[in-house]
Amino acid sequence: MVHASLLPSEFAVRFEGVSCRIGKRTVLEGVDLAMKQGEITGILGPNGAGKTTLLSIITGLRTPHTGSVTVLGERVSARHPELYRKIGVVLQETALYDELTTFENLQFAASLYGIAAPRSRIEAVLQRLDLSDRTRQRVGQLSGGMRRRVILARALLHSPELLIIDEPTLGVDVEARHTIWSHLRVLRSFGTTVIVSTNYLDEAIALCDTVAVLRAGRVIVSDTPEGLVARAGSCLDIECTAGAGEALKAALVHTEGVLRTQLTPTGLSVFLQGSALPDPILRTALQTTTIRGFRMRGADLAEVFHALEPLS
Amino acid sequence: MRRSDLQAVVGGFQAEILQLRRSPLFVFLTIVQAITFLLLVSLFGLTGSSAPVALICKDTGPYARTFISTLESTHHSFDLKEMDLASATAALHRGDLVGILTIPEDFSQSVLFGKDVTIRIDIDNVNTDMTDDVQRGLPSAIVRFGQQLHLPDLHVRVVEQDLIPHDTGYIAYLVVSGLVLNAFVIAGILSATAIAREFESGTIKLLSLAPTSAFFPLAGRAAATTVFAGGALLLPLAIVVFGYRIVPVHPMAAVGALMLCTALFSCLGIVLGALLKRTVPVASLIVGMSLPLYLCSGALEPERYDGEKLWILGHLSPVYHAVGVVQMAFHGLKVTPESTSVNILALACWLVAMLALAAWLLRRRTP
C-alpha cells in the first residue's frame, strides 16, 4: 500500500484520514490514499463501496467531514475553480445535451474552459477518440458507447493534467470497452494522471498501474494489479462429485501453495499462490478421487474480496 | 382475462401507486392545478356580476323607487350604489365606477301622466361589453317596470353618455390582454424548462466542474430563452395586428411593454425552474398559474370593477400592471386607477426583484 506520508510532489492526489457521511450513513471512513502522478489508479469496489463519493471529494462536489485531500498540490475543501482548469471529469451519468450535435456539445464545453480557437482543439480530440465521423450527429442519436466517448472527449478538451473517470466502461460493449482502455493508456503515455473507479476486476487489472480496493467506505488494500492477483491467487476449478470434493478439500489442507479451498456446486475451487503450479494439486486429486475435469482461471472480484477479508 | 393478466394489472396498479407516493411534488402540483381551475371559474363568476354603478335618484316619488327595485332585480351585472352627483362623477373619472345612472326629478310625474321621460346613463365605455350590458339591461328593466305597474303608455328613453370618445370592442380588449398571457406562458415555460433541464439531466454537475461558475452559462441560457421568447412573441403580436386588425395607438410603447413583460416572466420562469428542478412539473405549474393570474389581473375587464378585495389582490401580480400598460399602449385605455408610468415603474420593480431572486437562486442551487 502506498503510504500518504511520501513526498507530495510524487502524487497527484492524497487522501489523509478522510471520512464522509451522506445523511446519517458513513460512506467513507478513515481513507488514507495517495495516487501517483502519470499513472492510472483504479478504485475498485462493489456498488455502494464509496467509489463515487471518493471521486466527488477529489472534484470538490462533496466535502469530507474529517481529514484532508490534496489534488495537484492544492488543498481541496470545496469547489475549487482554478483546479478545474487542470482536471477533467467523466461522471457516471452520461450528462450531455441530446438535442445538440457532438461538435456543439464540445463547443459549449470549450466556452466553459475559455479555450481559444476551439474548433481545431475539438477536431483533434474527436479524431483521437475516433469520433470524427460523428461530429455532426445529434448526441441523442448516439449509442451508449459513443456517448461515453463524447463525455470523455469533453473531459479531455482542455488537456487536463488529471483525468477522473467514474465507471469508464459502464454499459458499453466489449469493443468500445477496449477502445476506451486504449485511449486511457495513450493519455498515460502523454503523462496524464488518470483515476478510474470500476467494479470490474479485469478492467482494473488490464488498465491500472495501482489499484485501491474499497469496501464499505474503507480502503482495504492498495497495490499493483499483479500484487492484487497474487493476494487473491489463481484458481483451479476441479469438477467432481460433492463427496469427492469434500475428500479432496481435506486432502489439500496442508498442501504447499494452496491459499484456500472452496466447495462449489460442480466440485472444488482451489486458490493457489501467484507462483504456485497446479500440477501437485492435480496429482493429489487424481490419487484421492475421480475427477471429471479441471480449468485454471484468475480470481473474480468476489474471490478477491474473500481473499482480502482478513485485511478489512 | 387470464389470472396472470389480472396479476399484471394488480402489479401495475401497485407500482403506480408507489411511484405517485414517491413523487409528492408532481402530485401536489397536479392537485394545485385542479384547485386553480376551481378558483378560475369562481373568479369568472365574480368578475362578471358586480359592476359598480352609481345611482343618482333626483325623484322622491313612488315610481322612482319601484323602478330602482325593478332595475336591481332585472339585471344582475350592476352593483347599484346610491350616491350624490359630485362623488359619483369623481368616482367614475377615478375609475371606481362603471357608470352613473341618473333618474330625473320628474320621473314619477312623467310616468303617471304618460309623458316622455329620459334616464341618463354616463358610462365608462372601456370596452363594449359594459356598454352592451347597459344597452340590453336598461330597456329590459323599463319593460318589466311597465308590465308590473300596468302602464301601457310608458315613454322612457335612455340617453347614453360615454366617458371615452371611442369604443373598444370586447374581443379587441381581450386579445390585447391575451398578449400578456402569451408573454407569461412563452417566456415562463422556455426559461423554466431550460434551467430545470440542467438539474434533471445532471448536466449541472458538469457545469459545476468548470473553472467558471455554473451561474454564467445558466445566465447565458436564460438570456437566450428571453431573446427567443421575445422573438416568439412577435407571432401573436402579428396575429393581433394583422389578423384582428388592432393597431397599437402607441406602437413603441406596445413593443416595449411586451419586451418588459417577456424579461420579467423569463426571470419568474428561472426562479420556478431553479426551485422545482423538474421540467414537466414546472411547465404544468406555469400553465396552471397563467389563467387565474390572467383573470385576476383585469384581463376581461378593468380589475377595479371586480370589487375592492379582488382589485387589491390583483396588485399582487405583475400581470395586473402589465395589462394596464398594454391596454394603454394598444387602445389608449386607462384601465387601472394607477397611471401608466406607475404601472411601468411597478413592472420595472418586479423585473429587478425577480432578476435578483433568479440570480441568487441560481448561485445557491449550483454546487
- Residues A128, A183: contact at Cβ < 8 Å? yes
In the numeric block, which cell numbers belong to residue B248?
397599437
**pLDDT tens-place string over residues A132-149:** 999 999 999 998 888 888
Indicate the pLDDT class of residue A7, thresholds 50, 70 and 90: very low
Cα(B195)–Cα(B134) distance, integer angstroms: 49
Chain B hits for A87, Cβ within 8 Å: 209
Q: A59–B209: do the CB atoms touch at under 8 Å?
A: yes
Indicate the pLDDT class of residue A87, thresholds 50, 70 and 90: very high
Average pLDDT, chain B: 85
Substitution target from B190, B200, B203, B206 for chain A, most A beta carbons within 10 A = B206
Does A1 score more than 60 pLDDT?
A: no
Cβ–Cβ contact B210 with A under 8 A: yes
**Which residue from B206, B213, B217 is facing A95, i.e. has the nearest CB?**
B206
Cβ–Cβ contact B60 with A under 8 A: no
| Helix A118-128 with A102-112: angle, nearest 10 deg | 120
Does A3 score more than 50 pLDDT?
A: no
Does B287 score more than 80 pLDDT?
A: yes
Cβ–Cβ contact A263 with B under 8 A: no
Cα(A257)–Cα(A246) distance, integer angstroms: 19
Chain A hits for B196, Cβ within 8 Å: none
Note the Cα A271 to chain centre separation in Å.
23
For residue B220, report the phi and psi dihedrals to the nearest 5 degrees.
-60, -45
Q: A84–B207: do the CB atoms touch at under 8 Å?
A: no
Amino acid, single-letter form, for residue B184? F
Substitution target from A76, A112, A159, A161 for chain B, most B beta carbons within 10 A = A112
In the numeric block, which cell numbers belong to residue A259?
491459499
Closest-CA distance, A254 to chain B, in angstroms, reads: 55
Chain position carrying cell 401507486: B17
Cα(B41)–Cα(A137) distance, integer angstroms: 48
Closest-CA distance, B201 to chain A, in angstroms, reads: 6
Indicate the pLDDT class of residue A232, thresholds 50, 70 and 90: confident
Closest residue of B to A84, CA-based? Answer: B211
- Residues A207, A44: contact at Cβ < 8 Å? no
Does B12 score more than 70 pLDDT?
A: yes
Cα(B244)–Cα(A128) distance, integer angstroms: 58
**Which residue from B201, B210, B213 is facing A113, i.e. has the nearest CB?**
B210
Cβ–Cβ contact A74 with B under 8 A: no
- Backbone torsion region of residue A165, taken as left when φ is above 0, otherwise alpha when ψ lies between -120 and 50, otherwise beta: beta
Indicate the pLDDT class of residue A284, thresholds 50, 70 and 90: confident
- Residues B329, B257: contact at Cβ < 8 Å? yes
**Which residue from B202, B210, B367 is facing A112, i.e. has the nearest CB?**
B210
Chain position carrying cell 489508479: A41
The pLDDT value recorded for residue B46 is 63
Q: B208–A79: do the CB atoms touch at under 8 Å?
A: yes
Collapsed DSSP state (helix, strand, coil) of residue B367? coil
Does B44 score more than 70 pLDDT?
A: no
DSSP letters, chain A, are ---TTS-GGGEEEEEEEEEEEETTEEEEEEEEEEEETTSEEEEE--TTSSHHHHHHHHHTSS--SEEEEEETTEEESS--TTGGGTEEEE-SS----TTSBHHHHHHHHHHHTT-SSHHHHHHHHHHHTT-GGGTTSBGGGS-HHHHHHHHHHHHHTT--SEEEEESTTTT--HHHHHHHHHHHHHHHHTT-EEEEEES-HHHHHHH-SEEEEEETTEEEEEE-HHHHHHHH-EEEEEE--HHHHHHHHHHTTT-TTEEEEEEETTEEEEEE-TT--SHHHHHHHHHHS---EEEEEE--HHHHHHHHGGG-
